[in-house]
Amino acid sequence: MPMLSSGLVIAGAYADKIRRTLFAQLRDYVKKDKEWGQKIAYAAAQLNKLLYNIFVDQLKIDKGDVVRIRIEYEVDENAKNIVWKWDTLTVEAFKRIPQDKVNEVVKQTVSKVAEVLAMAVAYTFTLLGETADGDLVFTVKLGDREVGAAIVTPVDDRTAVLKRGAVLEPSPAVFERLKLEISPERPIEEALKATFATVLQTARHVSYDEALKIINIIRERASAKPMERIETEAEEE
């Protein structure tokens, strides 16, 4: 049974490493049929969402800490699907956290994997500025961390259009050309929150670099400082 191993990687960059490693392992499938690319990207996003819950929500891992992830999976060629063997997931966190605690958190999280993957992602939105042609630029946050950006065109008091948005966490993803239903009781920020909450279901899953590029293109429209790339110098192939 194939195994995905991240090697040693900076915690802030594990999601991109997971995605790249899975694509590398399954590149022959992508060569045969491009539909596999979407399936692989979705599988990587599922794993990354679960890991985000473990690292950020429970273990409070810092972006600069080093982690290593291993998990087995099966390839269902008939259904064109990657099936994670969740009970094989092992995580090492090179931080002052007892390994017994890490193991227990992983075990508990895997036991409720469906619930964790179905959970809405609690993004918040803050207006960065307005463009010359009237578009609104928002920064996207998870907790106190800036993880993305979005640009919206207001149409009237009931409708707006999300022209483009991108996030880096819990897994890099892009949103494009989506209608937002708004009202005085449901401002644009709330409509965006509802749209982005179901990131796994509604977004296009991309590489870290592609998501970051789109984020900085959006931020540039509001003359905002670009987000910096997280380096992965601790990576070990």
Condensed to tens digits (0 to 9), the pLDDT of residues 160-208 reads 999 999 999 999 999 999 999 999 889 999 999 999 988 878 899 999 9
Give the three-class secondary structure for 108.
helix
Tell me the domain boundaries of the chain: 3-118, 123-221
Condensed to tens digits (0 to 9), the pLDDT of residues 88-141 reads 999 998 877 788 888 999 999 999 999 988 888 899 999 999 998 999 999 999
Please count the CA atoms within 13 angstroms of the CA of 69 that sit on its side-chain side.
27
Condensed to tens digits (0 to 9), the pLDDT of residues 9-41 reads 999 899 999 999 999 999 999 998 889 999 999
Give the three-class secondary structure for 195.
helix
CA distances from 214 to 42, 151, 194, 206 (A): 19, 11, 21, 11
Would you list the DSSP string of 78-95? TTTEEEEEEEEEEEEEES
CATH number among 3.30.470.50, 2.40.10.10, 3.10.129.10, 3.40.50.300, domain 3-118: 3.30.470.50
Over range 31-60, report the average pLDDT.
Answer: 93
Can you give the length of the chain in residues?
237
Q: Is 45 left (phi over 0), alpha (psi -120 to 50) or beta?
A: alpha
Over range 69-88, report the average pLDDT.
Answer: 95
The amino acid occupying position 71 is I
Q: Which two tokens stand for residue 153?
A: 């065109």
